[in-house]
Amino acid sequence: MKFGFFDDVRKEYVITTPKTPLPWINYLGSQDFFGLISNTGGGYCFYKDAKLLRLTRYRYNNCPMDLGGRYYYIKDGDTVWNPGWMPVKTELDSYECRHGLGYSVFTSSKNGLQAVLTAFVPVSDTCEIHRLKLTNQSDAPKNIDLFSFIEFCLWNAQDDMSNFQRNFSTGEVEVIGSTIYHKTEYRERRNHYAVYSVNKPIEGFDTIRDSFLGFYNSFDDPDVVREGKSKNSVAHGWQPIGSHHLKAELAPGKSEEFIFVLGYCENPRDQKFEAPNVINKKPANELLAKYQTSEQAQAALDELHAYWDKLLSTYNVNTADEKLNRLVNVWNQYQCMVTFNMSRSASFYESGLGRGMGFRDSCQDLLGFVHLIPERARERIIDIANTQFEDGSTYHQYQPLTKKGNADIGGGFNDDPLWLVACTYAYICETGDFSILDEPCAFDSDFSKAVPLMDHLRRSFNYTATHLGPHGLPLIGRADWNDCLNLNCFSEEPGESFQTFGPSEGPVAESVFIAGMFVKYGKQYAELCQAQGLEDETADVLGKVDQMIKVVEDAGWDGEWFVRAYDAFSNPIGSKVCEEGQIYIEPQGMCVMAGIGVEDGKAAKALKSVEEKLDSKFGIVLLQPAYTKYHVEIGEITSYPPGYKENAGIFCHNNPWIVCAETELGHGDRAFDVFRKTCPVYLEEISEVHRTEPYVYCQMVAGKDAPTFGEGKNSWLTGTAAWTFTAISQYILGIQPTLKGLGINPCIPSGWNGYTLDRVYRGVTYHITIDNAAGAQKGVACLTVDGVAVPGCVIPAEMVAGKQEVAVVVTMG
């Protein structure tokens, strides 16, 4: 069943019923100010940090699930309704929610009145704009009462939901004209406040939640709305809110538009007040002056559209499959940008209170957006590197505001260091900017110890090279990519963190997955050494890589597939000798991507085993057989019921590794088949099963062992976005940035005749035509650039130097 449709021309997903299986959300904001907005208007906004500077309150995991948002109550005679249906839930005569790139539009009607609510964050201001247009479509005049409503968060979202003995006494507001200023804690250490304003004179206002709602009411039946009159309440403590009362007298066919601004304002510390305890309103006045008219609001919206059009012009494909086109050209890249902005902080599954920026998460996310925003990617790499330790190990997470490592979780996740090589290499392949390797980067944020980024990469590589276990495989530490494979943890007490309990150093558990990474990213590091003229180091690195390949072929090979790991007693994990968890997906994907076993058939065997043992109609499950009981020596992965999360769920992040691996062997049909299974745009028709948004990937789909097989969870903030984009854009469609120039080497279904693609790369637009009349799955028979034949698959950067655009024709065969 579908709950909407794609509008490809406008790059929107159009939701046609408010009753989606889960809140289907969108993100507003592109620089410092962000909002989450669901298809019923739920969600919240924040400035820079979802935990520390949250403007509006949201109740996670509530009943109903999605409660709290930007609510506009329309009172038309005795009927009260909302443009987004919630919270009053009056049956609407029509409803539509269009989630677009950085904005959402709700269009609904009731009893001959139409409401169009457009919500967005301007490209360069710290506010949400809510444009609400009411149109009388009936043939009788209407007198409408309109009430706005948002609930302020007392800034620190954690404290806001727990420290009631204090914060029931701190709330403060000012109200001047049509503007409500939320200034809790401004009297002391904060120099910022929130504004909520509308561009028309108001009839009244409220800022006390209980006055507006009535103490025993919920959001669906506020006293003030029922009575049709504000109480002009001024908050002192308790729960400050913002509500305006407006009137619209609408003759038949007439419209009126209101522009609401919900924004963040900051003052220099010495200019906080204009009078004792009266806030300095200068930044608010400046902000509000920009959004007084419909023309101003429209100009800001146009600027937002232009911003996205420009970003998405970098990679644009035209295949015969319109679903694939919309995924690649719009939604997958959009999701990659959202992971850039949010990391894993704020979604409807991530509460915005917990994890900051994951080290490995941020490095991998970069693979998905580096082509869109290379300058910001560069800054991100340097921020990440600044948190590394001198021995090459890393913090597992860092805070976006302070950019410092999180001491509470610490380090010891032994895959982390190598991801720094992966993202730096990807950045240089995209941009050709080797100068980043000379950038001085700190250790543990201590800039007195800064050394060039190249030396950080060296330490990443050497850390892994020098932390090997009994088989010569890399030590796993607290965990590798799979945070839930905690082989040195041995936790027996509920509540102990699997991630931080137990020793991180000393134990001997080893990871074949990290060995695969060491080979893949070791080769990339060697290329960087070579490009810098470091001949001896190149040879040394490649020697160590070769040695690791031998170790994997020996201790890491189980006969039909790659072993996953060795536990603290040196027993294998992910081997046929295991009772449960005999085969895991991750080492198959990573080792084959690294090229291990490609020549002697091990790689093909491993992928065949994946197909036979792990595949399902909704994607490849993480392992089989699922763990049915808790194994203290294996950790959190065995804590989940079979089929969920890392215990044999379909973890979408690692499915693209198999896609990439299949293309290494030239299996275009199989690669695309695997790609399709987890791809949301192909699941739109079964949204009642999949449940999460059909326009973005989720982290996990319940596996075949689960009672809810096929059900997605945890959409939006997942490394899946970057890896699926890498898999489709580079490995299937075959557009591969390399150190030397743009590589083109597709691996596609044999049934595809070909496709065209525009790619902006290092300032040159490549108009690419792929011709597959031969019905091949892989292989470049001929490549020409502006009619000139190029040997191999890489177009040397020098060849196109100085040109703005070139025409490339690739004949497969």
81-90 CB burial, b ≥16 within 10 A, e <16: bbbbbbbbee
Q: 650: closest CA among 589, 597, 713?
A: 713
**What's the per-residue H, E or C state across 93-110?**
CEEEEEEECCEEEEEEEE
For ligand GLC, the closer CB: 687 or 699:
699
Contacts of 465 (CB under 8 A, 6+ apart): 518, 544
- Binding ligand GLC by CB under 6 A: which of 20, 178, 663, 718? 718
Question: If you write DSSP's letter for every residue of 6-24 in order, what string do you get?
Answer: EETTTTEEEE--S--SS--
Range list of β-strands (E), 418-544:
440-443, 446-452, 510-511
Angle made by CA atoms 413, 416, 417, in degrees to the nearest 5 = 120
**Cβ-closest position to ligand GLC:** 483
Q: Of residues 396-425, which lie at the interface with ligand GLC (CB under 6 A)?
A: none
Task: Report which residue type is found at 666.
Answer: G
Of the listed pieces 376-384, 477-485, 577-585, 776-784, which binds ligand GLC according to CB under 6 A? 477-485
483 included as an active-site residue:
yes
358 binds ligand GLC (CB under 6 A): yes
Of the listed pieces 120-128, 319-327, 465-473, 480-488, which binds ligand GLC according to CB under 6 A? 480-488
699 binds ligand GLC (CB under 6 A): yes
**CA-to-CA separations, 405 to 124, 159, 395, in angstroms, rounded:** 29, 22, 6
Of the listed pieces 75-83, 387-395, 449-457, 476-484, which binds ligand GLC according to CB under 6 A? 476-484
Residue 641 CB, shortest distance to ligand GLC, in Å, is 13
Rounded to an integer, what is the distance from CA 662 to the centroid of its chain? 25
Q: At what angle do helices 668-678 and 655-664 cross, to 10 degrees?
A: 170
Given a contact cutoff of 8 angstroms between Cβ atoms, the answer to whether 561 and 585 are in contact is no
Which residues pair with residue 311 across a beta bridge? none
Of the listed pieces 75-83, 212-220, 464-472, 475-483, which binds ligand GLC according to CB under 6 A? 475-483
For ligand GLC, the closer CB: 499 or 609:
499
The C-alpha atoms of residue 154 and residue 188 are separated, in whole angstroms, by 14
**CA-to-CA separations, 219 to 45, 73, 159, 209, 640, in angstroms, rounded:** 19, 10, 23, 10, 36
For ligand GLC, the closer CB: 645 or 667:
645
Q: Of residues 727-766, which lie at the interface with ligand GLC (CB under 6 A)?
A: none
483 binds ligand GLC (CB under 6 A): yes
Of the listed pieces 154-162, 300-308, 354-362, 782-790, which binds ligand GLC according to CB under 6 A? 354-362
Residue 368 CB, shortest distance to ligand GLC, in Å, is 14
Residue 557 CB, shortest distance to ligand GLC, in Å, is 24
360 binds ligand GLC (CB under 6 A): yes
Range list of β-strands (E), 62-184:
71-76, 79-81, 94-100, 103-110, 113-120, 127-136, 142-155, 173-176, 179-182
Of the listed pieces 186-194, 356-364, 439-447, 514-522, which binds ligand GLC according to CB under 6 A? 356-364
Angle made by CA atoms 15, 20, 21, in degrees to the nearest 5 = 145
484 binds ligand GLC (CB under 6 A): yes
Residue 515 CB, shortest distance to ligand GLC, in Å, is 17
715 binds ligand GLC (CB under 6 A): no
646 binds ligand GLC (CB under 6 A): yes
Of the listed pieces 3-11, 120-128, 357-365, 573-581, which binds ligand GLC according to CB under 6 A? 357-365
For ligand GLC, the closer CB: 253 or 354:
354
For ligand GLC, the closer CB: 220 or 586:
586
Angle made by CA atoms 272, 278, 280, in degrees to the nearest 5 = 40
**CA-to-CA separations, 437 to 427, 444, 453, 458, 691, in angstroms, rounded:** 11, 18, 5, 11, 44
Residue 500 CB, shortest distance to ligand GLC, in Å, is 10
635 binds ligand GLC (CB under 6 A): no
Spot the catalytic one: 145, 483, 567, 615. 483
For ligand GLC, the closer CB: 365 or 615:
365
1-12 CB burial, b ≥16 within 10 A, e <16: eebbebeeeebb
Given a contact cutoff of 8 angstroms between Cβ atoms, the answer to whether 578 and 500 are in contact is no
Residue 294 CB, shortest distance to ligand GLC, in Å, is 42
The C-alpha atoms of residue 447 and residue 349 are separated, in whole angstroms, by 36
**CA-to-CA separations, 168 to 43, 176, 240, in angstroms, rounded:** 22, 23, 10
Task: Report which residue type is found at 699.
Answer: Q
Residue 585 CB, shortest distance to ligand GLC, in Å, is 11
Token readout for 629 is 């009981």
Residue 344 CB, shortest distance to ligand GLC, in Å, is 5
For ligand GLC, the closer CB: 153 or 517:
517
Window 269-308: contact mask with ligand GLC (x via CB under 6 A): ----------------------------------------
Tally of CB atoms within 10 A around 271: 11
Of the listed pieces 353-361, 426-434, 515-523, 681-689, which binds ligand GLC according to CB under 6 A? 353-361
Number of residues that bind ligand GLC (CB under 6 A): 16
Secondary structure element (H or E) that encloses residue 190, with its range: none
Task: Report which residue type is found at 783.
Answer: L
Window 584-623: contact mask with ligand GLC (x via CB under 6 A): ----------------------------------------
Question: If you write DSSP's letter for every residue of 378-402 in order, what string do you get?
Answer: HHHHHHHHTTB-TTS-BBSEE-TTT
Q: What are phi and psi of 636, to 5 degrees?
A: -55, -35
Secondary structure element (H or E) that encloses residue 356, with its range: none
- Binding ligand GLC by CB under 6 A: which of 46, 85, 481, 697? 481
Token readout for 163 is 């420290």
Window 652-691: contact mask with ligand GLC (x via CB under 6 A): -x--------------------------------------
Given a contact cutoff of 8 angstroms between Cβ atoms, the answer to whether 741 and 794 are in contact is yes
For ligand GLC, the closer CB: 26 or 639:
639
645 binds ligand GLC (CB under 6 A): yes
- Binding ligand GLC by CB under 6 A: which of 96, 172, 361, 567? 361
Residue 577 CB, shortest distance to ligand GLC, in Å, is 24
**Coil, helix or strand at residue 372:** coil
Q: 36: closest CA among 53, 17, 50, 22?
A: 50
Residue 234 CB, shortest distance to ligand GLC, in Å, is 43
For ligand GLC, the closer CB: 49 or 416:
416
For ligand GLC, the closer CB: 70 or 645:
645
For ligand GLC, the closer CB: 359 or 766:
359
For ligand GLC, the closer CB: 42 or 516:
516
499 binds ligand GLC (CB under 6 A): yes
712 binds ligand GLC (CB under 6 A): no
For ligand GLC, the closer CB: 332 or 499:
499
- Binding ligand GLC by CB under 6 A: which of 344, 458, 478, 564? 344
Q: Which residues bind ligand GLC (CB under 6 A)?
A: 344, 358, 360-361, 481-484, 499, 636, 645-646, 653, 699, 718-719
Point out the residues that are catalytic.
483
